[in-house]
Structure 1
Amino acid sequence: MTQTLNKPAKAILFDKDGTLFDFQKTWAPWAAAMIADLARGEKAVLAKAGQAVPQDLDRQIAHTVGFDLDNGAFQADSLAVAGTAYEVAQALSQVITGLSDSEVLDYLMPSKMSMTPVVVPQLKQALEGLKQAGFRLGVVTNDFEHVAREHLEQVNISELFEVVIGCDSGHGAKPAPEGCLAAAAHLAVPAPDTYMVGDSLHDLEAAQRAGMRPIGVLTGTASRDDLAHLAAHVFADVADFVRFLTKSPL
């Protein structure tokens, strides 16, 4: 679906994980530890109740969330790539029987000690270039809003965004378009004058359904071929997109 991007735009919305942050570098180490912790917690509950304990529980959990334990990486079609923590917890309920859904969700909530965001190359410089060029910036993520804000603060870029919307902000989760539309409304920019940049089909579908310009980046788990049919253009990363957009080197 590659098309020209020369029509002026006024706002740019970004997904968070896989777009602002390198997905594998940020989340794979945390996921490996989370899977081990969750398996231990479930086994302890089952053993205490005198129930049979699956010996391959960690692999069952990994399979459910789409994580390759042997290679320490998320698979391209992982539910965790574009889904919400609620959706992951619901899927895990088919494997985890001793813990409640809320207890499983607790395991899926990373702390600052357990997860460190790894930004994509030249991110802050690229975002600052967009601000200087007059673009208004926002984040629309399927993560929780307060978690997203914490992550942006951790890497010192929170001040560059005027709006942050998460899956729990009252607008639903992508691929539903309402979060994107709410962000554009907050920025007072019409949807057709807004780019939505993301690494997953959920991001691009949300952009299309919102009437925005969908831009794909390759810092998640999807390939160029995966994204090309929904994206107006696919770039290597955010910096590559900004170089193209502003016609200036970073």
Structure 2
Amino acid sequence: MTLPPLRAVLFDKDGTLFDFAASWAGWMAGVIDTLSEGDTARADAIARAVRFDRAARAFHPSSPVIAGTLDEGADLIRPHIAPDRAEGLADYLLESSKHAAMVPPVPLAPLLQGLLARGLVLGVATNDAAESAHAHLDAAGIAGQFAHVLGYDSGYIPKPAPDMLLGFAARAGLPPGSVAMVGDSTHDLLAGRAAGMVCIGVLTGLADEATLAPHADLVLPDIGHLPDYLG
């Protein structure tokens, strides 16, 4: 299929611009090791709370941290750590997440440059913190490709609410129907549908095609296939 005419593409970050498992599993394993302080029972409790398999170093597809915010992740972890660590937990998660090594599923710079050459406005809408998002995009050398980068703390209700997406459309001065929302989770696609955007799923997160397809106009293996469907 060919997508309807578009004027902008709005990307989720984790699982979309960057492969989720490859980018975040190692970070989560390190967080658990640090916060458990050598206590195996505590490590197991944290892992259960975030649905992370410590032995396999892998997230369960139902893990609430996949599409959740850092604050939501902190709320899950906090009951299972030492009280002296609980107060600064959100700050620790934010600071450590900024340094997580992001792994793109495809070479990003030429892909994004090609989309810009088509006259498309590009943006990012992530349930990660805006500060982390900027750090990851800077590290990947692609920050300058995006007109707007919005996080869960950018003044909008996080996905699956459509607020962040509508905020991007307003900032870009475009009708939502001319924007494609590209994401790896039902949070992304539900937000896109509620915003009236074209919805494109990708399989570089932990959700499979059967999960995404009911909410998407199109499901792709990864964002590298996007130009093939642009009119």
Is TM > 0.5 for Structure 1 vs Structure 2? yes
Residue in 1 that maps onto 2:27 = 30
Which residues of 2 match residues 1-250 of structure 1 at below 5 A? 4-40=1-37, 55-96=40-81, 98-99=83-84, 101-111=86-96, 114-245=99-230
Q: Cα distance 1:113–1:183, how it changes in 2: closer, same or farther (>3 A)? A: closer
Q: Distance in 2 between matches of 1:102 and 1:84?
A: 17
The 8 Å contact of residues 20 and 205 in structure 2, kept in 1 or not, is answered as yes
Following TM superposition, where does structure 1 have runs of at least 4 consecutive aligned residues deviating by more than 3 angstroms?
Answer: 99-102, 110-114
TM-score w.r.t. the length of structure 2 is 0.94
Q: Are the aligned partners of 2:9 and 2:120 in contact in 1 as well (CA < 8 Å)?
A: yes
Residue range with higher mean Cα deviation, 15-24 or 115-124: 115-124
Matched position secondary structure for 2:66 = helix
Alpha-carbon contact 1:38-1:107 (below 8 Å) kept: no
Which amino acid in structure 2 is aligned with residue 30 of structure 1? Answer: W
Counterpart-to-counterpart distance in 2, 1:165 and 1:78:
23
Larger radius of gyration: 1
Task: State the Cα deviation string for residues 199-250 of structure 1 (Å, max 9, x = none).
Answer: 001000110111111110000111011101101110000001223226xxxx
RMSD: 1.7
Partner of 2:157, secondary structure, is coil
Identity of aligned residues (%): 40
* Aligned equivalents of 1:112, 1:205: Cα separation in 2: 25
* Change in 2 beyond 3 A, CA 1:154/1:55: closer
Structure 1 residues 30 and 157, CA gap change in structure 2 (3 angstroms): same
**Structure 1 unmatched ranges of 5 or more:** 44-53
Q: Is the 8 Å Cα contact of residues 98 and 136 (structure 2) preserved in structure 1? A: no
After TM superposition, the structure 1 stretch with the greater mean CA deviation from structure 2, 5-14 or 158-167, is: 5-14
Aligned-pair CA distance for 1:74: 1.1
Please say which of residues 98-107 and 234-243 is displaced more in the overlay: 98-107
The answer for unaligned runs of 5 or more in structure 2 is none
Q: Is the 8 A contact 2:47 2:54 kept in 1?
A: yes
Specify the SS of the correspondent of 1:115: coil
Task: Give TM-score, length-normalised by structure 1.
Answer: 0.87
Return the alpha-carbon distance in structure 1 between the equivalents of residues 12 and 4 of structure 2: 22
